[in-house]
Amino acid sequence: MKLQKTNLAEQAYTALHDMLLGGERFMPGDKISVEDLARQLGVSRSPVWNAVARLEADGIVEVRPRQGVFFVGFDRERLLEIMAVREVLEGAAARLAAEKAGPAQVAGLRASVTLQREAIARGALEDYAAEAARFHSLLAQAGGNKVMVKIIERLWARAKAMCIRPGARPALLDERVDEHARMVDAVGRRDGEAAEAEIRAHIRRIADGLATL
């Protein structure tokens, strides 16, 4: 894919972000060649290094002096710490969503749950994963705190990067979607306490599964 000659730094960031989290070319811990990526994208190394700097801030890559750039490796302890922070932040975001979400936002969340079920039914696990990530982002956005949304999205991407594995199938997908549906129900009836409790329990269950990896 060749990039256009406008806003190259932003395009390079988006392209590398999607490439890394897509799980098709790089696995956690792999070394990343900036030169190869620049050639592939049809740009100089400068916008690629700019993208690497942003991805390092996101926690998706690591720049090691005299060694190079590496896709973040799997680290169980760090992953569980990320999940603990996600539990607190997303719980607060769900409570805010119950207070502030309008009918259109609740409808959007319900539509996302439907798309998740459809993806599972046809065995499209990548589509399910993408929609599940979008659901969590939509839920955070419904709370109206933009800073919280950005942090939650970064934590989600960092956790996903660590957990990429060829052929891996997430566990208990139907149960996870049922949990998402209960979150939406709580938001729809403006029950902030229930919405927070549902998402915190949801993230704890996921973390419990990650602890055995």
Q: How far apart are CA 62 and CA 72, in angstroms?
A: 6
pLDDT given for residue 114 in this prediction:
98
Same domain, 169 and 64: no
Q: Which helix (H) or strand (E) holds 185?
A: helix 173-188
Same domain, 113 and 180: yes
Domain extent, residue 18, equals 8-71
Same domain, 16 and 29: yes
Same domain, 151 and 95: yes
Q: What CATH number corresponds to the domain at position 142?
A: 1.20.120.530
Same domain, 142 and 206: yes
Same domain, 25 and 50: yes
Q: What CATH number corresponds to the domain at position 37?
A: 1.10.10.10
Task: Identify the band that residue 1 occupies on the pLDDT scale cut at 50, 70 and 90.
Answer: low
At which of 38, 71, 104 does a domain end?
71
Q: How far apart are CA 3 and CA 9, in angstroms?
A: 10
Q: How far apart are CA 188 and CA 160, in angstroms?
A: 28
pTM of the predicted model, to two decimals?
0.83
**Are 65 and 44 in contact, with CB atoms under 8 Å apart?**
no
Same domain, 45 and 115: no
pLDDT given for residue 34 in this prediction:
93
Q: What is the Cα 173 distance to its own chain's centre?
A: 16
Helix, strand, or coil here: 64?
Answer: strand
**Are 118 and 212 in contact, with CB atoms under 8 Å apart?**
no
Q: How many domains does the chain have?
A: 2
Helix, strand, or coil here: 89?
Answer: helix
Task: Identify the band that residue 3 occupies on the pLDDT scale cut at 50, 70 and 90.
Answer: low
Q: How far apart are CA 57 and CA 98, in angstroms?
A: 31
Average pLDDT over the chain, rounded to an integer: 90
For the stretch 6-20, pLDDT in tens is 578 889 999 999 888
The percent helix, strand, coil of the chain (3-state, each to 5) is 70, 5, 25
For the stretch 54-75, pLDDT in tens is 999 999 999 999 999 999 988 8
Q: What is the Cα 26 distance to its own chain's centre?
A: 17
3, part of any domain:
no
Same domain, 123 and 205: yes
For the stretch 124-167, pLDDT in tens is 988 898 899 999 999 999 999 999 999 999 999 899 888 877 65
Q: What is the Cα 8 distance to its own chain's centre?
A: 23
The per-residue b/e assignment along 70-109, b for 16 or more CB within 10 angstroms, e otherwise, is bbbebeeeebeebbeebbebbbbbbbbbbeebeeebbebb
pLDDT of 77 strictly over 80: yes
49, part of any domain:
yes
At which of 71, 95, 110 does a domain end?
71
At which of 37, 71, 105 does a domain end?
71
